[in-house]
Amino acid sequence: MFSQLSDSLESTLKNLRGQGKLTEENIADALREVRRSFLEADVNFAVTRDFVKSVKEKAMGSDVLLSVTPGQQIVKIIHDELVSIMGGSSREPRLDGRSPVGIMMCGLQGSGKTTFAGKLALFLRTKRKKNPLLVAADVYRPAAIKQLQVLGKSIQVPVYEEGLGNPVDIIRNGYEYAKANGFDVVIYDTAGRLQVDDELMRELELACDAVKPDEILFVADAMIGQEAVNVAETFHKRLHFTGVCLSKMDGDTRGGAALSILKITGKPVVFVGTGEKLHEIDVFHPDRMAGRILGMGDVVSLVEKAQSVIDEKDAKSLTKRIMNNQFDLEDFLSQLRTIKKMGAIKDLIGLIPGLNKLPLGDINEKDMVHVEAVLSSMTPRERKNPKSIDGSRRKRIGAGSGTSVQKVNQVLSQYEQMRDMMKRMSSMMGKGNAQAGINKGQGEKFHAKKDKNKKKH
């Protein structure tokens, strides 16, 4: 996401950083490029105009022009303005109201409401320890109810449905069912509708009046860019929704909707969909997103992803094995699967400052699949004792993994390189700890001698 805007801004800001002194002229040239980058990224014209105007006013101040690093100062101004137009801070659904808390999903047909309802239910169940209920109120789209039931079953969240009844009645009855059965959150999946369809919009208004949901979330397809903002503006005039969910953000290289929607509707982006899988949903953090756009990475999100998939006990055990030079193919396979749980390698690299701009070439996710297949085709004994894997075993492993002997040799070579690197690191850490112990001992001896001399006097 935002790759087009990020690449365009990077070259502009690189030129600014290289300027020893900034003038009105080169600031104007840079902001002209920023304006072009925003418009190419499908950011709303009014939002772009106000953004450039605000940055220009702050950049022309004496604090920037006379600064030792004026280019860096302007980068900071642009970063802060990006954070501001995207909402300043993150906002999650309010979950501390009357129980059950009601969340209604609305938007155009095909925007991904049903899938997003499932993603949100899984997020609330696993990350916020809530007990959600999904209500199937889309009675117009064929198989919409069945789709929600399949999603609900896969994430272990119950689904309330009445078949092809009246949507307003289904929503009202779903709320009463949730209340009577101890659910603390109820998520209503409504039918997609055009903002110009007055009858269907009125139906949604009646549903909101019937259950008075705590949150009305508008689901917008990020890939339709500026049109998503126009649709959101019209929906907001009728429904006064409380927040926006951007689906399919992983497929949008421009990001115009995310940068425009708050300014136009006055409502923040709450969640973004980052992939097709149900766990691929993130709270929208404007400060982190601004860092990604400007190529600064996002270490906080990387750490959060790692914490969500890494068991602390396993991590300590692995560290001990590495320090004792016991890292084997079983550990290699375990770490490979952990990385896969964190998401696509390209996305992870994008979160690491500096690494996201290195010429790493096209990273082929299939390579990881092949490596995992090779490791999985080995017996536990072979993974524990890699030296036992002779020529005949390599031939069997290659055939069993659907690859080749050459691929098996490559995987074993990668493992040896990794093991050697870890051995050197553990050796360096051991020397560092030993030196720290020597320094500590010498310090203690010095202070003991000093105290002894004091007593003599």
Residue 113 sits in the same domain as residue 30: no
- pLDDT at residue 231 in the model: 82
- pLDDT at residue 287 in the model: 83
- pLDDT at residue 360 in the model: 42
- Given pLDDT bands bounded at 50, 70 and 90, which one contains residue 172? very high
> What separation, in Å, do the N-terminal and C-terminal C-alpha atoms of the chain show?
72
Question: Number of structural domains, the chain?
Answer: 3
Residue with the bigger pLDDT between 144 and 446: it is 144
- pLDDT at residue 55 in the model: 85
Residue 412 sits in the same domain as residue 312: yes
The mean pLDDT value for 332-340 works out to 77
Domain of residue 406: give its range. Answer: 304-421
Residue 131 sits in the same domain as residue 269: yes
The mean pLDDT value for 36-44 works out to 82
- Given pLDDT bands bounded at 50, 70 and 90, which one contains residue 364? low
The mean pLDDT value for 346-367 works out to 54
Nearest to 31, CA basis, from 6, 59, 4, 7: 59
- Given pLDDT bands bounded at 50, 70 and 90, which one contains residue 36? confident
Mean pLDDT, all residues of the chain: 78
CATH number at residue 362: 1.10.260.30
In whole angstroms, give the CA distance from residue 430 to residue 426. Answer: 6
Q: Is residue 448 part of a domain?
A: no
DSSP summary character for residue 181: T
The mean pLDDT value for 151-177 works out to 92
Q: Is residue 243 part of a domain?
A: yes
- pLDDT at residue 297 in the model: 52
DSSP summary character for residue 27: H
CB 287 within 8 A of CB 83: yes
Share of the chain above pLDDT 70, in %: 75
Q: Is residue 179 part of a domain?
A: yes
The CA dihedral of 368, 307, 423, 375, to the nearest 10 degrees, is -30
- Given pLDDT bands bounded at 50, 70 and 90, which one contains residue 306? low
Q: Is residue 440 part of a domain?
A: no
Residue with the bigger pLDDT between 326 and 245: it is 245
Nearest to 398, CA basis, from 411, 415, 381: 411
- pLDDT at residue 174 in the model: 93
pTM over 0.75: no
Q: Is residue 374 part of a domain?
A: yes
- pLDDT at residue 311 in the model: 66
Helix-then-strand count for the chain, H and E:
20, 8
Residue with the bigger pLDDT between 397 and 355: it is 397
Q: Is residue 454 part of a domain?
A: no
Please state the φ and ψ torsions of residue 157, each to the nearest 5 degrees: -125, 125
Share of the chain above pLDDT 90, in %: 20
- pLDDT at residue 119 in the model: 93
Domain end (from 252, 267, 296):
296
Residue 283 sits in the same domain as residue 146: yes
Residue 16 sits in the same domain as residue 131: no
Q: Is residue 437 part of a domain?
A: no
CB-count exposure of residue 54 (10 Å: 0-12, 13-18, 19+): middle
| Cis, bond preceding 142 (omega within 30 deg of 0) | no
Residue 130 sits in the same domain as residue 244: yes
* DSSP bridge pairs for 221: 247
Residue 197 sits in the same domain as residue 282: yes
The mean pLDDT value for 313-334 works out to 76
CATH number at residue 65: 1.20.120.140
Residue 399 sits in the same domain as residue 278: no
Residue 287 sits in the same domain as residue 308: no
Lowest mean pLDDT: which of 10-14, 262-266, 372-376, 379-383?
10-14
Residue 372 sits in the same domain as residue 278: no
- pLDDT at residue 184 in the model: 92
In whole angstroms, give the CA distance from residue 33 to residue 27. Answer: 10
Residue 269 sits in the same domain as residue 123: yes
- pLDDT at residue 359 in the model: 45
- pLDDT at residue 445 in the model: 53
Domain end (from 52, 85, 118):
85
Predicted confidence (pLDDT) at residue 51 exceeds the cutoff of 60: yes
Residue with the bigger pLDDT between 139 and 1: it is 139
Of the spans 230-239, 295-304, 436-445, which averages the highest pLDDT?
Answer: 230-239
- Given pLDDT bands bounded at 50, 70 and 90, which one contains residue 431? low
The mean pLDDT value for 389-417 works out to 90
- pLDDT at residue 78 in the model: 83
The mean pLDDT value for 125-132 works out to 91
* DSSP bridge pairs for 243: 217
Q: At what angle do helices 365-376 and 405-456 cross, to 10 degrees?
A: 90
Residue 129 sits in the same domain as residue 199: yes
Domain end (from 41, 56, 85):
85
- pLDDT at residue 71 in the model: 64
Task: Work out whether strand 215-221 and strand 243-247 pair parallel, antiparallel, or are unpaired.
Answer: parallel
Predicted confidence (pLDDT) at residue 104 exceeds the cutoff of 90: yes
Of the spans 47-61, 89-103, 117-131, 307-321, which averages the highest pLDDT?
Answer: 117-131
Q: Is residue 426 part of a domain?
A: no
The mean pLDDT value for 38-51 works out to 84
